[in-house]
Amino acid sequence: MEAPQRNLALDLVRVTEAAALASARWLGKGDKNAGDGAAVEAMRLSFNSLAISGTVVIGEGEKDNAPMLHNGEKVGGGGPLAVDVAVDPVEGTSLLAYGRPNAISVVGVAPAGTMFVPGPSFYMQKLVVPAAAKNVVDIEAPVPANLTRIAKALGKDVDDLVVFVLDKPRHKKLIADIREAGARIQLHTDGDVAGALMAIDPRNEVDVMMGTGGTPEGVLAACAIRIMGGEMFCKLDPQKQDEKNALAQSGIDIRRVLTVGDLVKSDDVFFAATGISGGTFLKGVRYLGYGAETSSLVMRGKTGTIRYIEAIHSWDSLMKFSAVKYD
C-alpha cells in the first residue's frame, strides 16, 4: 500500500488554464498566429514553475525564431522527474480565430521514453471507441460492419449512433459509408483531440470517432484514452508523397495497426485540458471584468481519477505577481 502521492495533473491544469486565459482574448479576431502565440508564451512560463525535467516529444515541430513549443524543447523547472511531454497550446487554432466551438488547450505527460515519437509522420487513420466497444472493432473492417458491432456493444441501434468526423475532402467516401449504414454524423472542421475525447466521454453524445487526423494529436489523445479506458486503433496514413517517402526511408511500417498501448506505454500518465472557445466538450473561457472562469478536465492514469474543474481567476490577485498577461 502507498501513501497518496502528488498528482502532477493538478499542476498541469495550471499550465492549460494559463494558455486558455491568454489565448481566448483572440476569439473570433481572425488571427491564428496571435492566439497561438499568446497560448505558447503562457504555457512556457507556466511550465517553468513545475519541478520536472521535461522533453517535448509532441509539439509544433522544429521552427526557428517562432513562438512555438517545438519537438525536443526542454520544459519545466528541473528536478529528478524525467518526463515526455505532449502539448498543443491551442488545439484548433482556426476554431479560435473564427470563433468556433471546441478549441482547447491540452497537455499530456508520461515517464521519459514511453511516448510514441511520430518522426516524419503527420497523419494517421483513427478509430476511437469507448471501453464497451474496444474488443469488437477492426480498423481494417468495412465502416458498416464496425458501426453494427459498436451499436450492439453499446446496446443501441446503428441509427442511434453519432460519429465524429473531420469535414475534409479526404473523408468523402467515409461520410458516404456512414450515411449508408444509417448512423448520424457530427462534422467538425478541426479538433480531433477533442473529438477523440468526446467519443470516450460517457457524458457526450458522440459514440465513435472515425477518419484521418494528425499523428501528434493522436498521441496526445492517447494519454487521455489510456486513462479513461477507451481505445484508439490507428494506422499511419501519409497524405503526400514526401511523407510516404520519409516514412519508407525511416523504416516505419505504415501497415501496422497501433493502439493506445503502443502510443503511450505507461499507466503513470497525466493529462489536462482547458476549454478556450465554448463547445460541446468543455466550456470556454468566460471573462468577467474582474477576472475569468475556466472549465478543465484533469486526469491521472495511476489512480484512474478524472476531475472536471471549474475555476474562477481574479485579476487583482493574479496580476500582482504573474508574468503572463491575462487582461
Binding residues for Mn(2+): 36, 60, 88, 91, 217
- Binding-site residues for substrate, in ranges, read 91-93, 123, 168-170, 190-192, 214
CA angle 86, 234, 279 (to 5 degrees): 60
The β-bridge relationship of strands 291-300 and 305-314 is: antiparallel
Rounded Cα gap, residues 158 and 143, in angstroms: 12
Rounded Cα gap, residues 107 and 316, in angstroms: 27
Return contacts of 140-144, CB within 8 angstroms, 24+ apart: 140/257, 142/177, 143/174, 143/177, 143/178, 143/181, 143/210, 144/177, 144/180, 144/181
Handedness of CA 306, 164, 230, 183 (dihedral sign): positive
> What cell numbers appear for 113 in the block?
521514453
- Alpha carbons within 13 angstroms on the beta-carbon side of residue 208 total 33
The Cβ of residue 151 has, within 10 Å, a number of other Cβ atoms equal to 22
Strands (E), 114-269: 123-129, 162-166, 184-188, 208-214, 231-236
57: nearest Cα among 273, 197, 218, 213? 218
- Alpha carbons within 13 angstroms on the beta-carbon side of residue 30 total 0
Write the secondary structure of 96-109 as one string of H (helix), E (strand) and C (coil).
Answer: HHCCCCCCEEEEEE
